[in-house]
Amino acid sequence: MKDYSVIIVDDHPVVREGYRRLIDLQPGLKIAGEAEDARAAYAQFRALRPDVVVMDVTLPGASGIEAIRHIRQYDDSARIVVFTMHLSAAFALKAVQAGAMGYITKSSDPRLLVEAIFGALRGQTVISPDVIEAIARDRISGIGTGLTDLSPRQTEILCLLARGWSAERIAGELSISPKTVRNNHYQIKSILGLETDAQLVWFALETGLLPAI
């Protein structure tokens, strides 16, 4: 019986090493390839046609969510399992909407990832318990993370604003007008119902958009 082939997508080399010990040593699975960003993941998928893709959602350049969509567009039977540090209901829902067959946090027991891979092979979607709980909690409170209400661009700008960057610096970084940054700044605060810029930082910290020190 042939092993199922897996490709792994993560931008941190050390994490890919960790995958190897988890997956490659697992009977029935073998790692066919690696990629460190969304474009390479897509190229690898087309070249190797693996049975399963295991990928992070935060990647350099295009987001993992987009990569999922892209791969599923090319082959809608692709099995993709998201494996990420983000314990986020918003990310998980987006990933599943985009076509992921699993969402496991890196702080989970590693065996859960293996289970999710075999689950995906059987056509089951496995979500790690901590994420399920986060989804349930968000639903109950009704508030949600708020992050889902922001467009990708707004999220990006929020992230830079919360870092303490000036509108001018952000404008330079993104090659847009400072006025656009200011408009987005206002829109973001308006959508999230925030009063001050300091609250904006706290929002970014609480949603995990930025790491707390």
Partner DNA sequence: GTTTGTCGCGGGCAATTTGCCCGACCTTTC
Partner DNA sequence: GAAAGGTCGGGCAAATTGCCCGCGACAAAC
Residues near its own copies (CB under 8 A): 11-22, 57-58, 60, 63, 65, 83, 85-86, 90-91, 94, 106-110, 113, 161-166, 194-202, 205-206, 211-213
Distance CA 41, CA 67 (A): 8
Neighbour count for residue 189 (Cβ, 10 Å): 18
Distance CA 118, CA 50 (A): 13
Answer for which of 5, 108, 125, 154 binds DNA (CB under 7 A) is: 154
The interface region with DNA, picked from 9-17, 27-35, 43-51, 181-189 by CB under 7 A, is: 181-189
For position 183 contacting DNA by CB under 7 A, the verdict is: yes
Question: Assign residue 185 a region: left if phi > 0, alpha if psi is -120 to 50, beta otherwise?
Answer: alpha
Which residue's CB is nearer to its own copies, number 71 or number 201?
Answer: 201
Give the shortest CB-194-to-its own copies separation in angstroms.
8
For position 28 contacting DNA by CB under 7 A, the verdict is: no
Burial-class residue 96 by CB neighbours within 10 Å (0-12, 13-18, 19+). Answer: middle
Which residue's CB is nearer to DNA, number 174 or number 210?
Answer: 174
> Starting at the edge strand that comes first in sequence, how are the strands of the sheet with 80-84 ordered?
29-35, 4-9, 52-55, 80-84, 102-105, 126-127
**Which tokens belong to 109?**
């027991």
| Phi and psi angles of residue 105, each rounded to the nearest 5 degrees, phi first | -85, 150
For position 186 contacting DNA by CB under 7 A, the verdict is: yes
Q: If contact means CB under 5 to 8 A according to the sort of partner, which of DNA, its own copies, none does residue 213 touch?
A: its own copies
The pattern of x and - marking residues 97 through 136 that bind DNA according to CB under 7 A reads ----------------------------------------
Which residue's CB is nearer to its own copies, number 125 or number 199?
Answer: 199
Q: What letter represents residue 66's amino acid?
A: E
Q: Which residues bind DNA (CB under 7 A)?
A: 151-154, 167, 174, 176-177, 179-180, 182-186, 189-190
